[in-house]
Amino acid sequence: MWGGENLTEAQTYIALTDQEFLRESVAVVEAARQRNVSLRILGSLAIYAHSVHVPECITVFHRLGRVEEGKPLFTDLDLAGYAKQGRFISGLFKDLQFKSDDVVNGFFGDRRLIYYEGTGKFHVDVFLDKLEFSHDVLFGSKPGDGRLELDFPTITLADIVLEKLQIHQIARKDLVDLIILFLGHDLRGGEAPDIELIDDEYLCEVLGDDWGFWHEALQNIEKTRQLLHSFEQSGRLDEDQFGRVRDRLADFERLLHATPKTRKWEKRSRAGTAKPWYREVEEVVR
């Protein structure tokens, strides 16, 4: 999608502790809020931010390790914003003394922006309006009236789930992220809105309209379940932790099968896997 050329110079980053990285990341998002600019944390750091009130999840996060044991959990910051606020986002990072990646930002500035922290601690990816990888995760395009306004300082738990489930060639670290998310958070299940519950109704609405994304999600739920079993068998998750994640994944899977599907979903389902159901992705090389 972005092209496989080496558009940026190699960067070396300073390892920060989890708490330091979260603190610096929240400071960026808070600075944006002070300017009425919508920026929200994505990915594994968003899961971590939603888990700090559940110490068990943080402990398990480190026990399982995202990449390999003993390595920092986070090395870069992924954010979501709105394209209509692009020049304000650029102004924010300039004032925060971040260096702009002029090549990438010049080529892809309507969809993605990259900045480097001034002292070399980390780099920042800002995705505008949506994540556009194996499948699309949409945040909206109207500042003040999009999905970014539903939570702070992160995107919603449901959007984090979609962010992970859309990956066609999902990596171990993303499966670990899903395990931690479901360990610390239950499905909303018709309860009143709560930012610490996963909005399964929204997930079913999105996936029930897109057969390819729905199919990908089910495959990745199964891969998550397989890794979950291996962690339980190796003693890295106890019986209660294993059962909690297993049951929540099973509940989610049942909902995905049971939810009514749109005509668009039904029409695409007829071709099944006989035609590609995902987008080939080429990442910008940093």
Tell me the C-alpha distance between 66 and 63, whole Å. Answer: 9
Q: What is the full per-residue pLDDT of the chain (286 aa) written as tens digits?
A: 443 334 444 555 667 899 999 999 999 999 999 999 999 999 999 999 999 999 999 999 999 998 766 677 888 999 999 999 999 999 999 999 999 999 999 998 899 999 999 999 999 999 999 999 999 999 999 999 999 999 999 999 999 999 999 999 999 999 999 999 999 999 998 888 899 999 999 999 999 999 999 999 999 999 999 999 999 999 999 999 999 999 999 999 999 999 999 999 999 999 999 999 999 987 544 4
Task: Report phi then psi at 32, rounded to 5.
Answer: -65, -45
User: Quick one: tokens of 155?
Assistant: 């995107």
Other beta carbons less than 10 A from residue 151's beta carbon: 20
Strand 77-81 vs strand 123-128: parallel, antiparallel, or unpaired?
parallel
- Who contacts 129 (Cβ-Cβ below 8 Å, separation ≥6)? 82, 83, 111, 138, 139, 140, 141
Tell me the C-alpha distance between 146 and 29, whole Å. Answer: 16
Q: Report how far Cα 107 is from the mean position of its chain's Cα atoms.
A: 23
Q: What is the domain partition of the chain in residue ranges? A: 18-273
Tell me the C-alpha distance between 22 and 116, whole Å. Answer: 16
Q: Which segments within 182-285 are labelled E, that is strand?
A: none
Q: Which sign, positive or negative, has the C-alpha torsion 22, 79, 166, 150?
A: positive
* Global confidence as pTM: 0.93
